[in-house]
Amino acid sequence: MTKSMLLVGVGGQGTILVSKILSEGLLEEGYDVKMAEIHGMAQRGGSVTTQIRFGDKVYSPTINKGEADVLVSFEKIEALRYVPMMKKGATLIVNEEEIWPLPVLAGLEDYPQGVMEEINNKLESVVSVNARAIAEELGEPRSANIVMLGLMVKALGIDSIDWISKIKKFLPEKVHEVNIKAFEKGISL
Amino acid sequence: MKKLMTGNEAIARGAYEAGCLVAAAYPGTPSTEILENVSTYKEIYSEWSTNEKVALEVAAGASIAGARSLAAMKHVGLNVAADPLFTIAYEGVNGGLVIITADEPGMHSSQNEQDNRLFAPHAKVALMEPSDAQECKDYIKEAFRISEEYDTPVLFKVTTRICHSKSAVELGEREEVGIKEYTKNPKKYIMVPAHSKIKHIEMEKERIPRLQEFSNTTELNKIEWNDRKIGIITAGASYLHAKEVFGDSVSYLKVGFSWPLPDKKFKEFAQGVDKVYIIEENEPYMEQYIKAMGILCTGKEIFSVCGEMSPQIIREAILGEKVEEGYSLEVVAPSRPPALCAGCPHRGIFYAMSKYKNKIHVTSDIGCYTLGAMEPLNIGDTVICMGAGISAGIGFDKVNQMAERNRKVFGIVGDSTFFHSGMTGLVDAVYNKSNMVTVILDNRITAMTGHQENPGTGKSISGIESPQIDLVGLVKAIGVKEENIRVIDPYDMDANKEAVKAAMDATEPFVIVTKQPCALIKDVQKRRANLYCQVNQEVCRKCKTCLKIGCPAISMKDGVVSMDTAMCNGCQVCLQVCPFHAIEAFGEEVK
């Protein structure tokens, strides 16, 4: 059975790194894995999406509307934007951090109110945390993405894979300790 | 050993294993990482070329000299490289020559979605289309072999979903094929009419029929017989989408070698199934050919030529299955367009230009500065292609004069784009006495595609020191008079204002060169890490002038203008535009 996971966020949040760690771990576990990223102008503050599909045999890397088994959003309104990609009953994991897009910053549009209420009302399965706040407590705000990784691993029930070694492989040594803590925090939530 | 690789990484690996010795490219999404990865293999000479035409010519010259060579580019890059493509096709190769075109169905980061397969029959070059990363690696090796065996350049078409998708790839060893002997052969390598006439006939009579035969026999064009009620002819990523929908319940003809197309296999396949569907992204390239053969099939009647193919589209079109409605929410997310970064050196000059918004027209170009066209800066009337920022400005300006519009035309171009194809436009502007203003935004990097070196940066693709082309010297040499050139620091708003004012008054070709490195360059980030601005709330009158510069570090939250000091790099453009001196600068540069 193929699982489809969609990761969305804003350029600079580390969504692609998390996708790489996930894909590599899943491949090692013996799954066939396809990962696709769209990051054209993402470094300039646009939306970033990566799609990971894994199972016995995966052909297409593309996840369609209404097909994602898990949606992982690294930002609140990005969750809003991509909820239609979810299957009914699928799980949303959302970082409650707010990153205002330029039209909002410039006062041309408003950052919507009541996002979490709307999400919690409409969706059956929501895991929400403020990963940024957790990461700040750990002393490294940039490890918020690894907190999210921990949450994903737990939600997908793939905690038997050696994720720590993957984190070590993809991150520089000086941040190993804090990111391992971030991962363990994420998995324990 | 199996490794997760993107298509781009796999192409680079394939080139390495195939014994490729020379690789050239100009950066462009989604192709950029091909050369970045090739350059990590020390056995291959790699270069960022000035543009795609140069890249293909470098590779063509290397091929004739005897080495396996490749050129890589995004789809629109092949337009630039079309000139050498059409004639190297006549000449053929010595060492194998592979040209990679990375197309962008769906236009995630491009100005159009042209289908470059159509170049193959037009230029008469062999065409290959892999579906995933493993095939990218295997096909590249085969492409070099085919190129040499059939004496033809091979066009190698990939798309964003292949370039940027990771899947498992089995690695192999590099095969050193060495350098072939070069023998002077004017009839083959000097294309003057007398030689070209013979070559064209040779191609038509010998090479193309041989390639046609190959297309009908190669396993690259593979029939998978399953149930025979439905037969699908497909290629590239569409094959994967089709397999996702139908698995092994229908028969497939997967076309991996797609020019010349396998006519006999099409016939055999169509005779073996009840109903034929053609599933291909963008243009009906195979479909028109198959229909012209008199084979009944269904394609663009049910599929769009616009956008990307997906399993969902196939499911709806062929099976009539509507997608089960997922969740729908009432709260709508505001758009999140890409924007100029905090500390972007383009902001200051754009803001100075925006003061003349009813007195100027702006012909912009391809690069980060395209984003200046967004609100609130709103700098840009046109974007066409690389280099058009200057040349389209020349034409725009001529018509403005005819229509007595009394508006000045500003052409915008970046440093890398100026070297790519802006220089020729500036020569034209001087030669033809244009009144336009050219603004060269020199941020010392090819920024939009993720920071590649270029002739102005002083470094090669491998990070080795290279001569730095003197941009201002070049502008002078082209003939722009000294008094009509301003070289300024775009973080200095007085300098920006003065330069734009002088440009408005100019009656001859005028050039402004802004010099300030991209804020995202690692060394710049380190140097400016402790610099930031902050709003003094006691002085701030909430006039919102600072919001008009469109900086993502500044916002109005709960009626208060606030600064994201972590994002801010202390460029101080906001500080200078604030009419009440309510913004203050803090911190020191890290030496």
Locate all alpha helices (DSSP H) within B248-361, ordered by sequence. 263-272, 285-292, 311-314, 346-354
Helix (H) or strand (E) holding B107: none
- Chain A residues in contact with B376 (beta carbon < 8 A): 106, 108
Range of the domain at A14: 3-100+113-188
Q: What pLDDT sits at residue B381?
A: 98
- Chain B residues in contact with A118 (beta carbon < 8 A): 329-331
Shortest alpha-carbon distance between residue A42 and chain B (Å): 7
Residue contact A83–B326, C-beta within 8 A: yes
Residue contact A60–B335, C-beta within 8 A: no
CATH fold label, B221-319? Rossmann fold (3.40.50)
The CATH number linked to A56 is 3.40.920.10
User: Using an 8 Å Cβ cutoff, are B166 and B102 in contact?
Assistant: no
Bond into B30 cis (ω within 30): yes
Structural domains of chain A, count: 1
| CATH class of this structure's domain B346-519 | alpha beta
Tokens 């009908």 found at:
B216
Task: For residue A28, tell me if it sits in a domain.
Answer: yes
Task: For residue A55, tell me if it sits in a domain.
Answer: yes
The three-state (H, E, C) secondary structure of B538-549, written as one string: CCCCCCCHHHHH
pTM for the model stands at: 0.96
The tokens describing A54, both together, are 């894994």
Q: Which of A33, A42, A61 sits opposite B168 (nearest CB)?
A: A33
In angstroms, rounded to a whole number, what is the distance separating the alpha carbons of residues B313 and B540? 53
Write down the domain spans for chain B.
2-217, 221-319, 346-519, 528-586
Q: What pLDDT sits at residue B15?
A: 98
The answer on pLDDT for A123 being more than 60 is: yes
Residue contact A86–B326, C-beta within 8 A: yes
Q: What pLDDT sits at residue B323?
A: 79
State pLDDT tens for residues B541-560.
999 999 999 999 999 888 89
Q: What pLDDT sits at residue A39?
A: 65
Q: What pLDDT sits at residue A42?
A: 55
Residue contact A38–B108, C-beta within 8 A: yes
Q: Do domains B221-319 and B346-519 have the same CATH topology?
A: yes
Q: Which residues of chain B have pLDDT under 50?
A: none
ipTM metric:
0.92
Q: What pLDDT sits at residue A41?
A: 62
> B435, B430, B440, B436: which is closest to B481 by C-alpha?
B430
Strand order across the B154-159 sheet: B45-48, B22-25, B69-74, B97-103, B154-159, B126-128, B257-259
Q: Residues of A5-37 as b/e, b for ≥16 C-beta within 10 angstroms?
A: bbbbbbbbbbbbbbbbbbbbbbbeeebbbbbbb
Task: For residue A105, tell me if it sits in a domain.
Answer: no
| CATH class of this structure's domain B528-586 | alpha beta
> B97, B90, B525: which is closest to B344 by C-alpha?
B525
Distant-in-sequence, close-in-space partners of B556: CB < 8 Å, separation ≥ 6 = A105, A107, B542, B544, B547, B562
> A50, A57, A41: which is closest to A8 by C-alpha?
A50
Q: What angle do CA B263, B264, B270 make, to 5 degrees?
A: 90
Q: Which of B311, B329, B554 sits opposite A64 (nearest CB)?
A: B311
Mutate to test the interface with B, among A44, A82, A125, A140 (most CBs of B within 10 A): A44
State pLDDT tens for residues A7-64.
999 988 899 999 999 999 999 999 999 999 876 565 667 888 999 999 999 999 999 8
Closest residue of chain A to B323, computed from CA coordinates: A66
Q: Residues of B12-47 as b/e, b for ≥16 C-beta within 10 angstroms?
A: bbbbbbbbbbbbbbbbbbbbbbbbbbbbebeebbbb
Q: What pLDDT sits at residue A150?
A: 96
Task: For residue A106, tell me if it sits in a domain.
Answer: no
CATH fold label, B2-217? Rossmann fold (3.40.50)
